Amino acid sequence: MESFHPLSLLKPSIRGWCIRGRVVRTFLVSLVPSSKVMGLILAEEHGMTIEATVGYKMSDHYKDFINEGEWVTITNFGVVENSGSVRATTHSFKIGFFVDIVVRLTSPLPAIPHYRLASFSSIIDDEIDKSVLVDLVGAIYDVGELINTRPKQNNVDDLTLIFKISDNENRVLECLATKKEALDFDHNYRRYGGGVIVAVLGWWKIDRYFDGPKNVRVCTAGTISTVFPDPDIPESNEIHEI
Beta bridge partners of 19: 74
| pTM metric for this prediction | 0.92
Beta bridge partners of 217: 174, 207
Strands 217-219 and 172-178: parallel
Please give the CATH number for the structural domain made up of 7-106. 2.40.50.140
Nearest to 168 by CA among 216, 213, 119, 128: 119
Contact status, residue 122 vs residue 112, Cβ threshold 8 Å: no
Common-topology check for domains 7-106 and 120-240: yes
Q: Does domain 120-240 have CATH number 1.10.287.130?
A: no
| Domain residue spans of the chain | 7-106, 120-240
Classify residue 21 as exposed, middle or buried by CB count within 10 Å of its CB (0-12, 13-18, 19+).
Answer: buried
Q: What is the pLDDT of residue 60?
A: 84
From first to last of its 242 residues, the chain has per-residue pLDDT tens of 579 999 999 999 998 999 999 999 999 988 766 778 999 999 999 999 999 999 888 888 898 899 999 999 999 999 999 998 999 999 999 999 988 899 999 999 999 999 999 999 999 999 999 999 999 999 999 999 999 998 877 889 999 999 999 999 999 999 999 999 999 999 999 999 999 999 999 999 999 876 665 689 999 999 999 999 999 999 998 897 76
Strands 172-178 and 71-81: unpaired
